[in-house]
Amino acid sequence: MKIIDLSHPLVPSMPVYPGTEPPEFTDVYTYGTDGFLEKKITFYSHAGTHLDAPAHLFPGGKTLDAYPVDQFAGPAVVLRLTGTEGRIAVADLLPYEEELSRAAYVLLYTGWSHKWGSPAYFSSYPVLSPAAAGWLARFPLRGIGTDTLSLDAVGARGLPVHNIFLAKEILIVENLTGLDRIDGGRPLFCCFPLKMEGAEGSPVRAVAIID
Protein backbone atom coordinates (compact mmCIF):
# COMPACT_ATOMS: atom_id res chain seq x y z
CA MET A 1 0.00 0.00 0.00
CA LYS A 2 1.22 3.49 -0.89
CA ILE A 3 -0.06 6.69 0.77
CA ILE A 4 0.49 9.98 -1.08
CA ASP A 5 0.21 13.23 0.87
CA LEU A 6 -1.87 15.76 -1.06
CA SER A 7 -1.82 18.55 1.55
CA HIS A 8 0.13 21.76 1.97
CA PRO A 9 1.58 22.36 5.47
CA LEU A 10 -0.01 24.95 7.76
CA VAL A 11 2.74 27.45 8.54
CA PRO A 12 2.72 31.20 9.33
CA SER A 13 4.37 32.00 5.99
CA MET A 14 1.85 30.08 3.87
CA PRO A 15 -0.25 31.67 1.10
CA VAL A 16 -3.80 32.53 2.17
CA TYR A 17 -6.86 33.72 0.29
CA PRO A 18 -6.69 37.52 -0.22
CA GLY A 19 -8.20 39.32 2.76
CA THR A 20 -7.53 36.66 5.39
CA GLU A 21 -4.62 36.31 7.82
CA PRO A 22 -2.16 33.43 7.88
CA PRO A 23 -2.13 30.94 10.77
CA GLU A 24 -0.53 31.90 14.06
CA PHE A 25 1.27 29.46 16.36
CA THR A 26 2.00 30.60 19.94
CA ASP A 27 3.87 28.58 22.56
CA VAL A 28 1.53 29.16 25.52
CA TYR A 29 3.20 26.54 27.71
CA THR A 30 6.92 25.82 27.39
CA TYR A 31 9.37 23.20 28.62
CA GLY A 32 11.39 25.74 30.59
CA THR A 33 8.45 27.34 32.42
CA ASP A 34 5.86 24.57 32.59
CA GLY A 35 7.71 21.33 31.90
CA PHE A 36 5.75 20.62 28.73
CA LEU A 37 4.97 22.24 25.39
CA GLU A 38 1.49 23.28 24.24
CA LYS A 39 0.64 25.66 21.42
CA LYS A 40 -2.28 27.97 20.76
CA ILE A 41 -3.14 27.77 17.07
CA THR A 42 -5.23 30.41 15.30
CA PHE A 43 -6.33 29.91 11.72
CA TYR A 44 -9.25 30.48 9.36
CA SER A 45 -11.50 27.53 8.58
CA HIS A 46 -10.50 27.72 4.90
CA ALA A 47 -6.74 27.85 5.46
CA GLY A 48 -4.45 25.70 3.33
CA THR A 49 -5.77 22.45 1.92
CA HIS A 50 -9.38 22.57 3.08
CA LEU A 51 -13.01 21.57 2.58
CA ASP A 52 -15.98 23.79 1.71
CA ALA A 53 -19.45 22.68 2.86
CA PRO A 54 -22.77 24.08 1.55
CA ALA A 55 -23.05 26.26 4.69
CA HIS A 56 -20.07 28.20 3.33
CA LEU A 57 -22.46 29.90 0.87
CA PHE A 58 -26.01 29.05 1.87
CA PRO A 59 -27.69 30.16 5.13
CA GLY A 60 -28.99 26.97 6.71
CA GLY A 61 -26.85 24.91 4.35
CA LYS A 62 -25.38 21.57 5.37
CA THR A 63 -22.34 21.77 7.67
CA LEU A 64 -19.44 19.33 7.70
CA ASP A 65 -20.56 17.65 10.93
CA ALA A 66 -23.91 16.84 9.29
CA TYR A 67 -22.24 14.52 6.76
CA PRO A 68 -21.54 10.86 7.61
CA VAL A 69 -17.83 10.23 7.98
CA ASP A 70 -17.70 8.09 4.84
CA GLN A 71 -18.55 11.22 2.82
CA PHE A 72 -14.92 12.28 3.25
CA ALA A 73 -13.39 9.27 1.50
CA GLY A 74 -13.98 7.37 -1.71
CA PRO A 75 -12.55 6.21 -5.04
CA ALA A 76 -11.19 9.12 -7.07
CA VAL A 77 -10.36 9.90 -10.65
CA VAL A 78 -7.65 12.44 -11.48
CA LEU A 79 -8.41 14.63 -14.50
CA ARG A 80 -5.11 15.66 -16.07
CA LEU A 81 -5.68 19.23 -17.27
CA THR A 82 -2.15 20.63 -17.22
CA GLY A 83 -2.37 21.79 -20.83
CA THR A 84 -5.58 23.73 -20.20
CA GLU A 85 -5.47 27.51 -20.09
CA GLY A 86 -8.16 29.77 -18.66
CA ARG A 87 -11.59 28.15 -18.54
CA ILE A 88 -11.84 24.36 -18.41
CA ALA A 89 -14.56 23.37 -20.88
CA VAL A 90 -16.85 20.36 -21.14
CA ALA A 91 -14.75 19.14 -24.07
CA ASP A 92 -11.74 18.86 -21.73
CA LEU A 93 -13.73 16.54 -19.44
CA LEU A 94 -15.42 14.25 -21.96
CA PRO A 95 -12.47 11.80 -22.23
CA TYR A 96 -13.04 10.94 -18.54
CA GLU A 97 -16.80 10.35 -18.74
CA GLU A 98 -16.68 6.58 -18.18
CA GLU A 99 -14.26 6.89 -15.22
CA LEU A 100 -16.36 9.65 -13.64
CA SER A 101 -19.40 7.39 -13.52
CA ARG A 102 -17.51 5.11 -11.08
CA ALA A 103 -15.83 7.80 -8.94
CA ALA A 104 -16.84 9.40 -5.65
CA TYR A 105 -14.29 12.21 -5.97
CA VAL A 106 -12.98 14.02 -9.02
CA LEU A 107 -9.58 15.71 -8.64
CA LEU A 108 -8.54 18.45 -11.07
CA TYR A 109 -4.79 18.27 -11.71
CA THR A 110 -3.83 21.54 -13.40
CA GLY A 111 -0.21 21.70 -12.19
CA TRP A 112 -0.92 25.02 -10.46
CA SER A 113 0.27 23.77 -7.05
CA HIS A 114 3.85 24.19 -8.30
CA LYS A 115 3.26 27.95 -8.00
CA TRP A 116 2.44 27.65 -4.26
CA GLY A 117 4.35 30.31 -2.36
CA SER A 118 4.67 32.69 -5.31
CA PRO A 119 2.43 35.67 -6.25
CA ALA A 120 1.50 33.81 -9.46
CA TYR A 121 -0.51 31.31 -7.42
CA PHE A 122 -3.27 33.88 -6.84
CA SER A 123 -4.20 34.79 -10.40
CA SER A 124 -4.95 33.32 -13.83
CA TYR A 125 -5.30 29.77 -12.53
CA PRO A 126 -7.56 27.46 -14.56
CA VAL A 127 -11.19 27.23 -13.42
CA LEU A 128 -14.16 25.23 -14.65
CA SER A 129 -16.61 27.05 -16.85
CA PRO A 130 -20.12 27.05 -15.37
CA ALA A 131 -21.14 24.66 -18.16
CA ALA A 132 -18.29 22.27 -17.27
CA ALA A 133 -19.16 22.49 -13.57
CA GLY A 134 -22.80 21.71 -14.34
CA TRP A 135 -21.74 18.74 -16.48
CA LEU A 136 -19.59 17.33 -13.66
CA ALA A 137 -22.29 17.91 -11.05
CA ARG A 138 -24.54 15.44 -12.92
CA PHE A 139 -22.38 12.59 -11.63
CA PRO A 140 -23.03 11.04 -8.17
CA LEU A 141 -19.98 12.68 -6.60
CA ARG A 142 -19.19 13.12 -2.91
CA GLY A 143 -16.71 15.86 -3.68
CA ILE A 144 -14.51 17.68 -6.16
CA GLY A 145 -10.93 18.78 -5.52
CA THR A 146 -8.51 21.14 -7.22
CA ASP A 147 -4.82 22.00 -6.93
CA THR A 148 -5.60 25.71 -7.28
CA LEU A 149 -6.57 28.43 -4.79
CA SER A 150 -10.28 28.08 -5.54
CA LEU A 151 -12.81 26.59 -7.93
CA ASP A 152 -13.71 30.17 -8.86
CA ALA A 153 -11.40 33.00 -9.86
CA VAL A 154 -10.52 35.45 -7.08
CA GLY A 155 -13.28 38.06 -6.92
CA ALA A 156 -15.66 36.10 -9.16
CA ARG A 157 -19.12 37.61 -8.72
CA GLY A 158 -21.50 35.16 -7.06
CA LEU A 159 -18.96 32.30 -7.03
CA PRO A 160 -20.89 30.45 -9.76
CA VAL A 161 -18.84 27.22 -9.73
CA HIS A 162 -19.03 26.93 -5.93
CA ASN A 163 -22.78 27.43 -6.15
CA ILE A 164 -23.25 24.63 -8.67
CA PHE A 165 -21.52 22.00 -6.53
CA LEU A 166 -22.55 23.14 -3.06
CA ALA A 167 -26.20 23.40 -4.11
CA LYS A 168 -26.01 19.64 -4.74
CA GLU A 169 -24.17 19.08 -1.44
CA ILE A 170 -21.01 18.06 -3.30
CA LEU A 171 -18.03 18.96 -1.13
CA ILE A 172 -15.22 21.14 -2.48
CA VAL A 173 -11.54 20.53 -1.66
CA GLU A 174 -9.13 23.36 -2.54
CA ASN A 175 -5.35 23.87 -2.44
CA LEU A 176 -4.44 20.25 -3.11
CA THR A 177 -0.88 19.35 -4.06
CA GLY A 178 0.98 16.25 -5.22
CA LEU A 179 -1.63 15.11 -7.73
CA ASP A 180 1.17 14.50 -10.23
CA ARG A 181 2.30 11.59 -8.04
CA ILE A 182 -0.90 9.64 -8.75
CA ASP A 183 -0.08 7.56 -11.82
CA GLY A 184 -3.57 6.43 -12.69
CA GLY A 185 -6.30 4.06 -11.65
CA ARG A 186 -8.81 4.85 -8.93
CA PRO A 187 -6.97 5.66 -5.70
CA LEU A 188 -8.85 5.96 -2.43
CA PHE A 189 -9.01 9.68 -1.71
CA CYS A 190 -9.44 10.82 1.92
CA CYS A 191 -10.00 14.37 3.18
CA PHE A 192 -11.16 14.15 6.80
CA PRO A 193 -12.01 17.52 8.41
CA LEU A 194 -11.69 18.47 12.05
CA LYS A 195 -14.83 17.34 13.90
CA MET A 196 -16.20 20.80 14.70
CA GLU A 197 -19.82 21.63 15.38
CA GLY A 198 -21.44 23.75 12.69
CA ALA A 199 -18.31 23.97 10.52
CA GLU A 200 -18.76 25.47 7.06
CA GLY A 201 -15.16 24.59 6.25
CA SER A 202 -12.07 22.96 7.72
CA PRO A 203 -8.43 22.32 6.93
CA VAL A 204 -7.89 18.66 6.01
CA ARG A 205 -5.03 16.20 5.67
CA ALA A 206 -5.85 15.00 2.18
CA VAL A 207 -4.20 11.78 1.01
CA ALA A 208 -4.50 9.25 -1.81
CA ILE A 209 -4.16 5.60 -0.88
CA ILE A 210 -3.02 3.26 -3.63
CA ASP A 211 -3.25 -0.48 -3.08
CATH number at residue 195: 3.50.30.50
Report the alpha-carbon distance of residue 165 to residue 142 in Å, rounded: 10
Look at residue 34 and tell me if it is in a domain.
Answer: no
Q: pLDDT tens-digit profile of 89-116?
A: 999 999 999 999 999 999 999 999 999 9
pLDDT at 85 over 80: no
pLDDT at 77 over 90: yes
Which residues 6+ apart lie within 8 Å of 191 measured at CB?
Answer: 51, 72, 73, 105, 143, 145, 171, 173, 204, 205, 206
Look at residue 128 and tell me if it is in a domain.
Answer: yes
Look at residue 150 and tell me if it is in a domain.
Answer: yes
Look at residue 25 and tell me if it is in a domain.
Answer: no
Q: Measured in whole angstroms, how far is the alpha carbon of residue 151 from the centre of its chain?
A: 9
* Res 196: pLDDT: 97
Look at residue 198 and tell me if it is in a domain.
Answer: yes
pLDDT at 83 over 90: no
pLDDT at 47 over 90: yes
Look at residue 162 and tell me if it is in a domain.
Answer: yes
Q: pLDDT tens-digit profile of 2-36?
A: 999 999 999 999 999 999 999 999 999 999 999 99
Look at residue 101 and tell me if it is in a domain.
Answer: yes
How many independent structural domains does the chain possess? Answer: 1
Look at residue 31 and tell me if it is in a domain.
Answer: no
pTM for this prediction? 0.96
Report the alpha-carbon distance of residue 204 to residue 73 in Å, rounded: 12
* Res 122: pLDDT: 94
168: domain range?
2-9+44-210
> What mean pLDDT is reported for the chain?
96
